[in-house]
Amino acid sequence: MRGNGVFGDGETTMTIARTPLPDALEALRDAAIEPPAAVAGKGPEYSVVVPFFNESACAGALLSEITEVMQRLAAPYEVILVNDGSTDTTQAVLGRYAEQHRECRVLQLVHNRGQAAALYAGLKVASAPIVITMDGDGQNDPHDIPALLGELPAADMVVGIRVDRRDTWLRRTMSRVANRVRQRILRDGMDDSGCALKAFRLEVVAALLPIGTLYSFIPAMAVAAGFKVVQHPVAHRPRSAGESSYGLRRFLWRPILDTAGMWWFARRSFPVRARHAGMPPGDDWELTAPRE
């Protein structure tokens, strides 16, 4: 049978068996990505992955900020814009921006799969050795990116800690309770694991599981795989437009169930972090060249 979407340049169609898949894997199956314009020279040094769902009102301004910050780094980069089946004009906004900025690629999900699935799909097509993630609602400030990158020489992942959060009282309270419960059970050392603004090495992506609450457990999965994870304070801005697509259910029973699963996973997993030039020292194994 043919898949529901086309992945690549539109000239090749893959045959995929229709077996039940988690939303994140369904998102990959249904995705259609627009190829970037040819870029001379070497590949990107940074991949910025941003999921969007019905964010047409604020997407343009956020993308302009991302472009401004990344250009200041004076290094090749790509921006992967994941449209999570938006029902407004988000796809048109992203498409127009990508046409004007050759470093941008649009990953279109045919159906709305959720924030975690959209992020996972974007991470799977990221190609740079350093990956940066953030939300598409404009609450993460792209100007914090250089500070996170500054911590990477001594770590594999840098997780933002949102200071002076600009959310509703209920949302802040639910997040605080969830973080405390997760910390107590998983002992991952993270104060704000749900912050979308992160910077990490591409190798970390292989340690991530395609689950619906991926956002909250990315640091725990990285720690379980033997990667060094640190935190750094970042700004948090009020929403300039639109509204959150995630409610009480996302913060309550689903994270509780997945926390129990992560507790089991973290204790049954073993480090997979292979050390190589440019990565910080660790207590795990390293891959050495064979003798001549």
Residue-by-residue DSSP string for 204-238: GGGG----TTHHHHHHHHHHHTT--EEEEEE-B--
Most distant CA pair in the chain, distance: 63
The pLDDT of residue 59: 96
Write out the two tokens for 192: 């704000």
The pLDDT of residue 176: 66
The pLDDT of residue 81: 98
The pLDDT of residue 215: 80
Give the C-alpha separation, 122 to 116, whole Å: 10
Mean pLDDT score across all residues of the chain: 77
The pLDDT of residue 109: 94
Q: Which CATH class is domain 23-268?
A: alpha beta
Beta-carbon-side half-sphere exposure of residue 280 (alpha carbons within 13 Å): 16
- The residue ranges of DSSP E strands in 70-128, in sequence order, are 77-84, 104-109
The pLDDT of residue 11: 35
CA 18, 23, 148, 142 dihedral sign is positive
Give the C-alpha separation, 268 to 24, whole Å: 23
For residue 42, CA distances in Å to 73, 75, 76, 128, 246 come to 16, 10, 8, 11, 39
The pLDDT of residue 224: 86
Give the C-alpha separation, 156 to 281, whole Å: 10
Give the C-alpha separation, 13 to 18, whole Å: 15
Give the C-alpha separation, 82 to 97, whole Å: 13
Residue ranges in the chain modelled with pLDDT below 70: 1-41, 165-189, 240-292
CA 12, 85, 92, 76 dihedral sign is negative
The pLDDT of residue 65: 98
The pLDDT of residue 102: 95
